């Protein structure tokens, strides 16, 4: 199944990622370490964001 063409991508923080996927921060970072979730994009020394489109794609893959 393919996603409809998404509008312009945006970067989202860990709080929004957590809200979208229903997992808490420690679980998300464990999934990243295990290679089961998209890696964040470093935008500063202590700041990371995720691609909204990548997170939505990950959600869609779980549904299928």
Q: Which residues pair with 47 in a beta bridge?
A: 44
Give the tens place of pLDDT for each residue, 14-56. Answer: 999 999 999 999 999 999 999 999 999 999 999 999 999 999 9
* H runs (alpha helix) in 1-64: 14-21, 25-33, 52-63
What pTM was estimated for this model as a whole? 0.84
Domain ranges in the chain are 11-63
Considering only CA atoms, which of 36, 8, 10, 9 is closest in space to residue 23?
36
């Amino acid at each position: 199944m393919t996603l409809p063409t998404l509008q312009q991508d945006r970067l989202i923080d860990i709080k929004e990622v957590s809200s979208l996927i229903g997992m808490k921060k420690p679980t998300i970072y464990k999934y990243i370490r295990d290679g089961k979730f998209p890696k964040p994009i470093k935008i500063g020394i202590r700041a990371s964001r995720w691609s909204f489109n990548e997170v939505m794609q990950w959600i869609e893959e779980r549904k299928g």
